[in-house]
Structure 1
């Protein structure tokens, strides 16, 4: 299970995730006492997390675990047999948030990595939140030189902060996870990560963006279930996808399959939806969030993501507008980029732009609707299947053409 961060063990969504993990463990180990272990690389008080986050241990016990312990495993203790033995004897492993580069640097190739894999191989449950979720896929954004801001990913096709690790833990082969997704406007960064993979890998990798307090729970058969409060965003490379990634210049990435899924939706290994909640009836209304400019056929936010504040609202509002309103396409236009109209239904990124624009195209979406906002949020949650994402560099038009 990969969860997008900010998990609150006392909230209903948090309790349901802990309960899900214990239920799966009891199914895998019928009649056995269930042990859960929460692991991280440094003490909580030094990890930009509050000490009361130890509530996760109580949350496992409340959910039905028989024992729950916490371990701090740094570069020194990662090689000590007792730490690996403590993990190996558990049925549920919970990997905390923090800085995923520590996990890759300190745990890769050690008995810790082997022990976590052993738990998973015998049917145990492995959960990662935030940084812990980022290292669960076949490819991981490892943050070896720090985090990558989404606006930076629209400025430089090959930013130095875009560093990826292959097959660290690898519990979800062919998957790349990104976290804190909507709240930090990480859609363009995840698109650039996918496009930056070797060609054979990007064609077979599913990029999964996880909102806070939202999980993608993958069962033994590989099918994933969306749980929690927010949405899960899927990006896939298709036969129509293409990219132009010139070092030092804004990227162009065309034709990524885009799906944003609400809780209760299931998708297979390839990211194709296998089941979904019933579409709401009689409650749909067009959403026009603050900052969203209505161009008729097209909606936009400009300038988008110019500061740290307001990124979540700008991201969620535009997607909700596209999912619920008459405009079937929309764009985030960051400072440094501009669009010019070329007729009634065509726009182009100006050739003098220093950043790319991000376009979501839902004209051929097979399903699109909104449901009520997540707790503590204003914009409705959007459900969209069958849309397309484009990162448009200077001089590139939408829809495409000369």
Structure 2
């Protein structure tokens, strides 16, 4: 482990802020709550509070940079906690290119709960990627903080991130219309999880086509589609479903891929549907 940490440090020094792989390899003490969007049931908020421990000590912060209206995002995210008597959760936002002082960085590093709002995952990563703030988020997680995110805040959790854009069809649609090659756009997320791909609003918006396309073209990834009002609580390599609906998991264990006229085919894909209370093991 010591040798591994030294190697990771060397990689970080060479590559700047490319620290997510090192974080994943170490023995992180933190937890993740990855929410598929929509409303957050009271029981889910209670679980976030319990797992983070902010009802006993410390504080939480809300990072609203995914939203075009960050003040509103902070207001509504904070309200779900104040309604149950938790008043130690506060907003913390910054702009692209802003040099964060030690006070803001310490606020991130020492937070017991970091909550990332919904909006646009590309906007969030455009502001946070490669910054001291991203490093501070990883440090907090490594030291035991709970990192939660909803909708866009869920998408950023994986190292390879679904942007929501179709490369072959630039006009936006809430779901992909086809299972076709070279259409899904992936970018780099926070990298809290390296070998999975997170999709959100999954059942409500029928986003099967894009996640199926992703696991065919990237068979090393486990595709996890989380429905609205539903989340996975990740502790180590274990994911527990919490909330009201389902989590759909696609895998391509045989790395199968065929293609004809731009359409993708595959055999032996694995599909599992998990209900609240179920658990599964991450790749």
TM-score (norm 1): 0.56
TM-superposed deviation, 1:51: 3.6
Q: State the alpha-carbon separation in 2 of the partners of residues 71 and 153 from structure 1.
A: 39
1:138 and 1:174 in contact (8 A); partners too: yes
Instruction: Find the partner of 1:80 among 100, 124, 127.
Output: 100
TM-superposed deviation, 1:21: 1.6
Residues 21 and 151 of structure 1, relative CA distance in 2, 3 Å threshold: closer
Aligned to 2:204: 183
Instruction: Find the partner of 1:16 among 43, 68, 78.
Output: 43
Alignment of 1:337-376 (within 5 A): none
Structure 1 counterpart SS, 2:118? coil
Aligned to 2:233: 217
Give RMSD over aligned pairs.
2.6
Matched, 1:206 2:240: no
Aligned to 2:65: 41
Matched, 1:238 2:263: no
Aligned to 2:266: 253
TM-superposed deviation, 1:129: 0.4
- Residues 141-180 of structure 1 deviation map (CA, whole Å, 9 limit, x = unaligned): 13467756544433x4212xx22124x3221221110001
1:158 and 1:245 in contact (8 A); partners too: no
Matched, 1:164 2:178: no
Residues 148 and 206 of structure 1, relative CA distance in 2, 3 Å threshold: farther
Structure 1 counterpart SS, 2:202? coil
TM-score (norm 2): 0.77
Residues 149 and 51 of structure 1, relative CA distance in 2, 3 Å threshold: closer
Q: Which runs of 5+ in 1 are unaligned?
A: 271-402
Matched, 1:135 2:159: no
Aligned to 1:7: 39
Aligned to 1:302: none
2:202 and 2:228 in contact (8 A); partners too: yes
Number of positions where the alignment pairs a residue of Structure 1 with one of Structure 2: 246
1:22 and 1:63 in contact (8 A); partners too: no
Alignment of 1:236-315 (within 5 A): 236-239=251-254, 241-245=255-259, 249-270=262-283
Matched, 1:194 2:215: yes
Q: Which runs of 5+ in 2 are unaligned?
A: 1-32
Aligned to 1:153: 178
Q: State the alpha-carbon separation in 1 of the partners of residues 245 and 56 from structure 2.
A: 34
Q: State the alpha-carbon separation in 2 of the partners of residues 187 and 100 from structure 1.
A: 19
Alignment of 1:318-397 (within 5 A): none
Q: State the alpha-carbon separation in 2 of the partners of residues 245 and 83 from structure 1.
A: 49
TM-superposed deviation, 1:111: 1.2
Structure number with the higher strand fraction is 1
Structure number with the higher helix fraction is 2
1:73 and 1:83 in contact (8 A); partners too: no
Greater Rg, structure 1 or structure 2? 1
1:136 and 1:172 in contact (8 A); partners too: yes
Residues 216 and 188 of structure 1, relative CA distance in 2, 3 Å threshold: same
Residues 63 and 222 of structure 1, relative CA distance in 2, 3 Å threshold: farther
